[in-house]
Chain A
Amino acid sequence: MPEIQSYTMNFGPQHPAAHGVLRLVLEMDGETIQKADPHVGLLHRATEKLAESKPFNQSIGYMDRLDYVSMMCNEHGYVLAIEKLLGVEAPVRAQYIRVMFDEITRILNHLMWLGAHGLDIGAMTVFLYCFREREDLMDCYEAVSGTRMHATYYRPGGVYRDLPEQMPRYQPSSFRSQKDLARMNEARSGSLLDFIADFTDRFDACVDDYETLLTDNRIWKQRTVNIGVVSPERALQLGFSGPMLRGSGVAWDLRKKQPYEVYRSLDFDIPVGVNGDCYDRYLVRIEELRQSNRIIRQCVEWLRANPGPVMIDDRKISPPTRVEMKDDMESLIHHFKLFTEGYCVPAGEAYAAVEHPKGEFGVYLVSDGANKPYRLKVRAPGFAHLAAMSEMVEGHMLADVVAVIGTQDIVFGEIDR
């Protein structure tokens, strides 16, 4: 009888460490991976085709659902592509609001990543810590857009509305004492900006907390150091971007290299790894948390000092206010046309990319002059990363597959689209 050299193992799609619905077909030699074949598409919703059948603005909500842990950044890419074709630019205040929420989103995403990655490779506690801070940021989302996750807040030409003057508060209830209520509402007595400012003051200490749990933790290092090493040359070949590329030592960040919105006038640093392993990518993301916090602080300061419009004053793109609409015929017509037909975008094509928490999120938009996109292609960072899965896990043990999935920060909403 011939000796069996390798065998095939199925991993997922229903596996808690598969970050959604990843099915991996692993060819193993003992416990060593020889080849990994990811089967994706279990969450394929044809977002790009759906967008072709709708006016431009109606697809913004679909963008939230692509990478459903960094919602507003997805919207940002889409909205920028439309603005590029229309040849318009959002008012400065809207740009600051967008940047602030991009960075809030980055923290949201990295916290989710840190918690889940920790949980996957045996660090339970950090998950609970991360979700404590996520909750506050979700409240910022809710305060500004009305929803905790799928905000649909960015619009071509600005943002949907200005920041609220009053941060929503917890209401008295029979389940919590007066003392608890007062404590919970402590940071919420002022505006949204006050709440965010309070968060930025607290957050650096929170990051220290996570680091005490992980950075020098022996088990954490054993699970991440020298796992999934990618050389800088290979990272470029494989189309890596974001922390995956920076972890390998390539100092490339669109916020610095091809600045969009107001990133040019903000002060922040780009962390870069050395070895290109899971541990370096962890360090890069942790530092990004601190840098994002720094950016948010600058935005809050600017936004406090500079009131102004948050939407361009072009009735062919942005709808009039309700008040205008009620007593002005032309406004009524504009409103009607915008919400039934939408706006027509000049024929042409544009590619707009943002530095999404996971990497370069690009939107390629082809318009034939109609009120709907002719073709929308979303360049999801995770797609290129997952494509390199086989290469990254080759020669590692089965348990390291989980570490690599975690370090790639896989979210299936954007990979399957």
Chain B
Amino acid sequence: MSQKIEALAARVEQCLQGKVTRVTSSCGELTYVIAPSDWRAVAEQLRDHETLRFEMLIDLCVVDYLHHGHSEWQTEDATRSGFSRGVARDAAAQSHFAAAQGETATPPGQRFGVVCHLLSLEHNVRLRLRAFCADDDRPMIDSLVDVWASANWYEREAFDLFGVLFRGHPDLRRLLTDYGFIGHPFRKDFPLIGEVEVRYDPASGRVIYEPVSIEPRTLVPKVIRDDHRYQPEIHDEASYREAGNRA
């Protein structure tokens, strides 16, 4: 399998010299990051070049990297405060948490990653492409609808959920959210509980929208543990000891 991936990587890199940057993967997948300006041209080449032939766009989605690598609870050392106290409900603590997040926010132009998964039936290989939208406030990228027709709805969905605009899309409407919905719900700064709730109001005799009445809560804190427990060296005892000696 890895030979196949390497052979494909060689072909891609030869065909798209200088346009692609390979991302290392631990699970035998091939991922390339490209500049948003090359997005459409690269897609077209991947589809048409005879050594590549990615006939099918399997999936297209957006990843919002706003909180990537941030944990909700610091566990580096033993804490005097349990998680429930660590994320106190009062406004001061909330804003403190927000500020802590803000300090290490993603660098500009690295927030919205548009990811597409390609499949070549002829060569039986998969490829992942990613491009970051340059502008975080008005993320925009070229549409792939005229390269792969299946991009149509994937891009509509991505626009709906993340607010990424696809230049040249024939029909960029919302897809999944309600008629008249405001906001882009899958962005990391959109609350999980939403902004509005809906109910039937007997007084006015119709369905009305109101600000949500429930409180946001975190049931299980997000923690990142850097104890390298999944690194292969640990399972191979000899190399583990060696690594320990070096340290």
Contact = CB atoms under 8 A, between A and B. Distances in A.
- On whether the two chains bind one another, the answer is yes
Interface of A: 40-41, 44, 46, 48-50, 53-55, 58, 84-87, 234, 236-239, 250, 252, 257-258, 316, 340-342, 344-351, 353, 360, 362, 364, 366, 368-372, 374-375, 377, 379, 383-384, 386-388, 416-417
B194 to A, nearest CB: 9
Interface string B171-191: 000111110000001100000
A387 B152 contact: yes
Interface residues on B, range: 35 or more
B58 A371 contact: no
A74 to B, nearest CB: 15
Interface in B198-247: 218-226, 229-232
Contact of B117 (A53, A351, A416): A351
Contacts of A372: 220, 222
B126 interface: yes
A379 B152 contact: no
Interface stretch (B37-45, B64-72, B88-96, B132-140): B64-72
Contacts of B178: 41
A360 B177 CA distance: 24
Nearest to B125: A258
Nearest to A235: B56
Contacts of B117: 351, 362, 364, 379
A349 B69 contact: no
B25 A348 contact: yes
Closest 7 CB pairs of A and B: A239-B150, A41-B176, A387-B153, A379-B59, A377-B61, A44-B176, A237-B149
B222 A371 contact: yes
B223 A362 contact: no
A49 to B, nearest CB: 6
A368 B68 CA distance: 6
A244 B64 CA distance: 32
B73 to A, nearest CB: 10
B142 interface: no
18 contacts: A40-B175, A44-B176, A44-B177, A48-B186, A54-B219, A54-B220, A85-B27, A87-B26, A252-B121, A351-B128, A360-B58, A369-B224, A370-B71, A371-B220, A374-B68, A375-B64, A377-B63, A383-B153
B60 to A, nearest CB: 9
A153 B124 CA distance: 31
Given A41-B175, A239-B148, A387-B153, 4 more contacts: A41-B177, A87-B230, A344-B229, A369-B225
Contacts of B26: 85, 87, 346, 348
Contacts of B29: 349-351
A86 B56 CA distance: 28
B55 interface: yes
A84 to B, nearest CB: 5
Nearest to A339: B220
A49 B188 CA distance: 9
A346 B69 CA distance: 11
Contacts of B59: 351, 362, 364, 377, 379
B55 to A, nearest CB: 5
Contacts of B131: none
A370 B222 contact: yes
